[in-house]
Structure formats: structure tokens, C-alpha cells
Structure 1
């Protein structure tokens, strides 16, 4: 169990959820299945951790999104070949 970022209780467990992402160019949105997430048994909140959201955002910036299907899994998205190794515009 992990600490919930909403209620700070240590009853958050790992789950997967479906999410919807609009591409950065605004041309379309994707349905991404099986995204790692947390569910807190104490406050019933379900959420994606910031690190996962950043991973998805970076990946969408670094790949050819025209090749993506409308619906894909998190693993399929993260397996796409990148133009660059990392987001060089982001301060680490």
C-alpha cells in the first residue's frame, strides 16, 4: 500500500485505469487503456500519479503521433519509437 496524495492515508493500492489524452497539436484525442493508477480505500479517490502523467506527456511529444491508433494501451504507447531520447526542453 502507498500513501494517498489526497488524504495521506496509507491505503492506496495500485490499479490500472483508462485515460483520455488530447494530442499537443489539438488534432485528436486518444484513449489510453491500462494506465498505472492508485485507488485509495480510505477516501475512494482514483488518480494517476504525476510521474505517470509526465511520462505520457513526454512520450507524446517525442513520437510520431500520426502512427497511433485511436485506442491503445499504456504499454503500447510507451513502446513507440522516439524521435529523441528525452524531452530536452524540460528542466530536470
Structure 2
């Protein structure tokens, strides 16, 4: 896998813990087991744009009031949506 930061081919798919601010800005949550890329050449760990967009859309479309402080990526993605999609994107 090509690393988007350094361009080497030493990027590897991994799962990482990330911290995300909720859309209302009142708190942040921990999202564990998030699909990520880890580069052995430059040491960068990041989420690809598609994953970032997916998380942001899901947090915008669900009722975040009842979310725990920590949740897995799969649990977050399985939360029932109030809207079918993000009509503002």
C-alpha cells in the first residue's frame, strides 16, 4: 500500500484508536478499531479520506447524545440513522 504522506510502498492496513469531536462540539469520543494506514517508512498513522468522511457523516446522521465515551468503529457504523444520508455534502 502506498503511503499518502511519504509516498513509500510500506503502508499497511491496520486498526487504530482515534478521537473524534462530535458535530455539536460539546465533547469528543474514542473510536476503537478504526480502519487506518500505518507506514513503516515514515511512522505516520492516518485514516484515509473515505474513512474520515464515513465517520463524519455517521456522526452527523445519528443521535449522538446516547453515545458512550468509547465505541468501536463497527458499533458506530451500526447506529440507527435519523436521516438516510448527509444532504448537505
TM-score interval for Structure 1 and Structure 2 normalised by the shorter chain: over 0.9
For structure 2, the residue ranges without an aligned partner over 5 or more in a row are none
Q: Secondary structure at the match of 1:55?
A: helix
2: distance between equivalents of 1:40 and 1:5?
9
Write the distance in 1 (CA, Å) between the matches of 2:10 and 2:19: 26
Structure 1: give runs of 5+ residues left out of the alignment.
Answer: none
Name 1:9's counterpart in structure 2.
8
- CA-to-partner distance for each residue in 1:9-61, whole Å, 9 max, x for gaps? 11110011111111111121101101000011111111111111111000000
RMSD: 0.8
Count of aligned residue pairs for this structure pair: 89
4+ residue runs over 2 A deviation? none
TM-score (norm 1): 0.92
